[in-house]
């Protein structure tokens, strides 16, 4: 990139750099630059790229429930440069087990010297200074992060002890009580003020289909009129009792629907939180009975049981309208998720983003939709790949890498999901009060 000389050029350059590095602005990536993992060579260089993994669970090392597995993407991006210097997890046996599997495989060089720690404090006390990480990857449960309180303040701990080291943090940024959201905004400010590279795991933003939607909107200078999102999960396959307990998971909109609330914001912009209205179909209503539950719901206190359907509407600051429905009704394993984005003359309809993304596009001058399919797209790899390119500060092609989800932006998505939960609970309480 040429050196900016005028104040306007400097401002544009600063804006560009902060957009790339995960500022609160929404960026986009040319969909042609999202290269599948098997078509990409490892990043160049010979020096070690030290990483600390926090959490040794499914998101970090994979599970049968889905395609997530951050360690696998880091291995592919960094090749022999990857050195996982520490794995922090209170369940040290689980951590040792996953490391053993890695050390029995061809990625041994990344894990042969990995040290396991129960807590971040243990890591701080015992880790040699010369093994300073380039990035922390945080995949611990969200109830242990996103606040300023001891034991749940991992972000601030890292910012204080490792200034300048990049962060990758899984969604949602927290699941604590609603009153703690202000603390999450304070963490966002710390990240922004210290210009820390930080990416949040809203990987659907990195789908080629999503970036194509973004480009159609930008190229045609469109103003979004409405976003219509539907997230129907396959509940039969969800066997974690905590997921069914609002006091543990914060409920399905906050824990899971968050991906689609975030995508809605990615297209619709800032939400006027005061306008959020919502209704729910609850577990004790006739229409809310489920026949294939794999957990014993009677063990969960009635007030903590999750709704079967939550449906919300809101106004964006732009005047556009957002709607979102989360459904706990399908059996089997595949989810049914769709997002429609409307603008004057256009409908962009994203179908099945988790499994086989298809984009249907209707444009002015043609009543028929055009269909686009995206084989071999891996948004989990794209989010890791973009983060590492930013950390490595690869500048030959400054348009190539961009962090699409900043901490502050992710706090706003979290805030929207809480607003939906609270609005639905308010409607239910009002209905019960009318009946009494």
Ligand X SMILES: NC(=O)c1ccc[n+]([C@@H]2O[C@H](COP(=O)([O-])OP(=O)(O)OC[C@H]3O[C@@H](n4cnc5c(N)ncnc54)[C@H](O)[C@@H]3O)[C@@H](O)[C@H]2O)c1
Q: Which listed residue (45, 90, 177, 345) binds ligand X by CB under 6 A?
A: 90
Min. distance of Cβ 369 from ligand X in angstroms? 28
Is 142 a binding residue for ligand X by CB under 6 A? The answer is: yes
Q: What would the two tokens of residue 207 be?
A: 């789908």
The answer to whether the CB of 104 falls within 8 A of the CB of 69 is no
Min. distance of Cβ 165 from ligand X in angstroms? 17
How many CB atoms lie under 10 A from the CB of residue 65?
12
Q: What would the two tokens of residue 325 be?
A: 């429905």
Is 261 a binding residue for ligand X by CB under 6 A? The answer is: no
Comparing CB distances to ligand X, the nearer of 260 and 283 is 260
Binding mask 203-242 for ligand X (x = CB under 6 A): x---------------------------------------
Q: What would the two tokens of residue 305 be?
A: 């049981």
Min. distance of Cβ 335 from ligand X in angstroms? 11
How many CB atoms lie under 10 A from the CB of residue 388?
25
DSSP sequence for 384-397: HHHHHHHHTT--SS
Q: Which listed residue (53, 68, 206, 335) binds ligand X by CB under 6 A?
A: 68
Q: Which listed residue (52, 82, 85, 88) binds ligand X by CB under 6 A?
A: 88
Q: Is 251 left (phi over 0), alpha (psi -120 to 50) or beta?
A: left
Is 49 a binding residue for ligand X by CB under 6 A? The answer is: no
Residue 109 to residue 87: CA distance in whole angstroms: 15
Q: Which listed residue (74, 123, 136, 144) binds ligand X by CB under 6 A?
A: 144
Is 323 a binding residue for ligand X by CB under 6 A? The answer is: no
Q: What would the two tokens of residue 197 be?
A: 């590279």
Comparing CB distances to ligand X, the nearer of 140 and 310 is 140
Residue 258 to residue 266: CA distance in whole angstroms: 12
Residue 335 to residue 333: CA distance in whole angstroms: 7
Comparing CB distances to ligand X, the nearer of 90 and 301 is 90
Is 57 a binding residue for ligand X by CB under 6 A? The answer is: yes
Residue 193 to residue 207: CA distance in whole angstroms: 29
Comparing CB distances to ligand X, the nearer of 79 and 241 is 241
Footprint of ligand X (CB under 6 A): 54-59, 68, 88-91, 94, 139-142, 144, 170-171, 201, 203
């Amino acid at each position: 990139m040429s050196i900016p000389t005028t104040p306007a050029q400097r401002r544009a350059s600063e804006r560009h750099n902060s957009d790339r590095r995960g500022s609160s602005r929404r960026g986009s990536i040319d969909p042609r630059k999202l290269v599948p993992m098997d078509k990409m060579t490892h990043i160049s260089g010979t020096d070690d790229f030290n990483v600390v993994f926090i959490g040794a669970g499914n998101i970090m090392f994979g599970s049968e429930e889905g395609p997530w597995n951050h360690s696998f993407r880091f291995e592919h991006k960094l090749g022999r440069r990857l050195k996982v210097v520490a794995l922090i997890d209170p369940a040290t046996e689980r951590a040792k087990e996953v490391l053993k599997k890695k050390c029995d495989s061809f990625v041994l060089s990344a894990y042969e010297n990995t040290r396991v720690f129960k807590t971040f404090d243990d890591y701080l006390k015992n880790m040699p200074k010369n093994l300073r990480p380039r990035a922390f990857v945080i995949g611990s449960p969200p109830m242990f992060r996103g606040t300023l309180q001891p034991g749940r303040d991992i972000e601030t701990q890292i910012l204080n002890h490792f200034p300048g080291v990049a962060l990758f943090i899984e969604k949602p940024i927290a699941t604590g009580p609603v009153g703690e959201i202000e603390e999450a905004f304070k963490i966002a400010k710390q990240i922004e003020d210290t210009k820390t590279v930080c990416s949040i795991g809203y990987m659907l933003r990195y789908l080629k289909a999503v970036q194509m939607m973004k480009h159609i909107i930008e190229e045609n200078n469109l103003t979004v009129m409405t976003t219509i999102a539907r997230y129907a999960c396959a509940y039969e396959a969800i066997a974690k009792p905590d997921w069914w307990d609002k006091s543990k998971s914060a409920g399905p909109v906050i824990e899971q629907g968050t991906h689609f609330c975030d995508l809605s914001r990615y297209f619709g912009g800032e939400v006027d939180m005061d306008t959020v209205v919502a209704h729910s179909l609850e577990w004790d209503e006739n229409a809310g009975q489920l026949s294939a539950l794999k957990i014993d719901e009677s063990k969960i206190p009635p007030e903590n049981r999750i709704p079967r359907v939550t449906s919300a509407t809101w106004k964006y600051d732009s005047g556009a309208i957002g709607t979102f429905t989360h459904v706990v009704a399908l059996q089997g394993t595949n989810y049914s998720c769709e997002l429609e984005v409307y603008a004057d003359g256009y409908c962009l309809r994203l179908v099945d983003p988790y499994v086989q993304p298809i984009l249907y596009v209707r444009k002015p001058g043609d009543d028929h939709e055009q269909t686009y399919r995206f084989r071999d797209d891996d948004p989990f790899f794209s989010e890791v790949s973009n983060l590492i390119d930013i950390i490595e500060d690869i500048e030959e092609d400054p348009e190539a890498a961009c962090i699409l989800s900043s901490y502050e932006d992710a706090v706003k998505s979290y805030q929207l999901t809480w607003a939906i939960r609270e609005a639905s609970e308010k409607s239910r309480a009002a209905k019960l009060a009318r009946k009494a």
